[in-house]
Amino acid sequence: MRTWAEVDLSALRHNVRTLRRRAADTPLMAVVKADAYGHGAPRIARAAVEAGADSLAVVTVEEGEELRRAGVDAPVLVFTDLPPEELRRARALGFTVTAHSTQSARLIASVGGLKAHLKVNTGMNRWGVEPEEVGEAVRLLGDSMTGVYTHFACADDPDGPGRRETEAQIRTFERVLAARSFAGTLVHAANSAGTLWWPAARYGCVRPGVALYGLHPAGGDPEGEGLRPVMALKSYVASVRRLAPGEGVSYGFTYRAARETAAATVPVGYAEGYRRALSGRSEALIGGRRRPLLGRITMDASVFECDADTQVGDEVVLLGEQGPERVTAEELGRLAGTINYEVTTGVNPRRVERRYV
Ligand SMILES: *Cc1c(COP(=O)(O)O)cnc(C)c1O
């Protein structure tokens, strides 16, 4: 393969154990939606369960089906809205679904035989029944209801203005929980940020996604939270050339060599998920050093400065460590005007093989 993603399953297991410890051994639901944030859901799910995850969460029935085909038999919660035929598939596979509105509660009841968690809107205003509709949704779901949950909008900002927003969401959720008996149902709220920074939101289980992959929920340094990045993105030098002063590189000549410069062509482009917005901004690791990207990222290739003695075949690290240097998903996200989540989730599996180590 041209460019590959190394997925470190021992780092994943370390992160699962770290998050469980951090949450005082609260049961852990590993969020493996979107192909485990680009890391490959079947292998990640298996490793997470080995390391102590109690259940798994996905967004589509198909994502859950892929886990079952791979022999993963842990409980699965589906987070989002499903049409009737998908609800029937979820029932056949034994998945728990989400009732996110009174209409969806009614639909789940009419399909019958399903287990459902009720999602409550405590302020995120994306999914969830309003607090005053909880009574009706509970009645509609009847015995199907096995859990109740909410989702935080600002839990990644525990020391800034987001603190008050999360406190308000927790208060609203507490009012919902106090208004009727939820005995025997699983209560949950904490995403990665909640798991790390909101002990009041642990309830019956925590629900981390991004932190499992060793990424920092607020774009900071994951090592500061004891997390180890799971994905590295690696490629190789496919050709080397010498640029004379004044020569341009790649489309539009947005870069021109100021002096004689060695340039390495690397077979990674935006089709691999190496985002074009990084053009002229990012650095890769070649020969144990940081080397700047020259000009624009194209669909299939990028050009980096290199040394005069860089050889064809030398390793190039776009994300991860080489020698003493390290490029993080947080750094690439910042440079591309996005977040670490999108950096790994955007690695295209049709172009980039995952190698599990
Ligand atoms: C994606 C998602 C999570 C995980 O969020 P992270 O920020 O990645 O930890 C948890 N709960 C719900 C409902 C989600 O959609």
Distance, CA 207 to ligand 1 centroid (Å)? 7
- Give 125-147 pLDDT, tens digit per residue: 999 999 999 999 999 999 999 99
40 exposure class (CB count in 10 Å sphere: 0-12, 13-18, 19+): buried
Tokens 């989702």 locate to 151
Q: CATH topology of 9-217 equal to that of 231-356?
A: no
Q: How far apart are the first and last CA of the chain?
A: 16
Mean pLDDT of 316-327: 98
Classify burial at 252, counting beta carbons within 10 Å of its beta carbon; exposed 0-12, middle 13-18, buried 19 or more.
exposed
Q: What percent of the chain has pLDDT over 90?
A: 99
Mean pLDDT of 292-320: 98
Counting ligand 1 atoms within 8 A of each CB, the residue from 79, 122, 166 with the most, and so the one to mutate, is 79
Give the integer Cα–Cα distance in Å for 331 and 327.
7
**Residue identifier of the C-alpha nearest atom 4 of ligand 1:** 209
Q: Please indicate whether residue 320, judged by its CB atom, sits closer than 6 Å to ligand 1.
A: no
Cα(25)–Cα(15) distance, rounded to whole angstroms? 13
Sign of the four-CA dihedral 348, 352, 356, 357: negative
Task: Please report, rounded to a whole number, the percentage of residues in the chain having pLDDT higher than 70.
Answer: 100
Using the atom order of ligand 1, give the atom closest to the CA of residue 31.
4
For the CA of 191, the closest atom of ligand 1 is 9
Q: How many whole angstroms from 183 Cα to the centroid of ligand 1?
A: 24
Ligand 1 near 119 CB (within 6 A): no
Asked about 119 being catalytic, the answer comes back as: no
Answer yes or no: is the C-beta of 209 below 6 A from any ligand 1 atom. yes
- Cβ of 208 closer than 6 Å to ligand 1, yes or no, is yes
Known catalytic residue at 251: yes
Cβ-based neighbours of 46, under 8 Å, separated by 6 or more: 70, 71, 72
Please identify which of the residues 33, 115, 119, 234 carries the catalytic annotation: 33
Our answer on whether the CB atom of 194 is closer than 6 Å to any ligand 1 atom is no
The continuous run of DSSP H or E covering 139 comes out as helix 134-141
Mean pLDDT of the chain: 98
β-pair partners for 178: none
| 210 pocket-lining for ligand 1 (C-beta < 6 Å) | yes
Q: What is the distance in A from the centroid of ligand 1 to the CA of 156?
A: 12
Residue 1, pLDDT score: 63
CATH architecture of 9-217: Alpha-Beta Barrel (3.20)
Range 231-356 has CATH code 3.40.50.1820: no
Segment 200-232, tens digit of pLDDT: 999 999 999 999 999 999 999 999 999 999 999
Task: Name which of 137, 135, 72, 76 is nearest 103 in CA terms.
Answer: 137
Q: Is the pTM of this model over 0.85?
A: yes
Average of per-residue pLDDT across 179-195: 97
Which of 156, 157, 164, 208 lies closest to 36 in space, CA to CA? 208
SS3 state at 120: strand
pLDDT in tens, 224-278: 999 999 999 999 999 999 999 999 999 999 999 999 999 999 999 999 999 999 9
The domain limits of the chain are 9-217, 231-356
Q: Which of 149, 251, 341, 356 is catalytic?
A: 251
Tell me if 38 CB under 6 Å of ligand 1.
no
Cβ-contact 341, 193 below 8 angstroms: no
Query: Among 202, 216, 228, which Cα is nearest to 157's?
Result: 216
Helix %, strand %, coil % of the chain (to 5): 35, 25, 40
Tell me which residue has its CA closest to atom 6 in ligand 1. Answer: 209
Q: Is 70 exceeded by the pLDDT of residue 68?
A: yes
Atom of ligand 1 nearest to the CA of 149: 13
What CA–CA distances, in Å, run from 265 to 17, 69, 116?
40, 39, 51
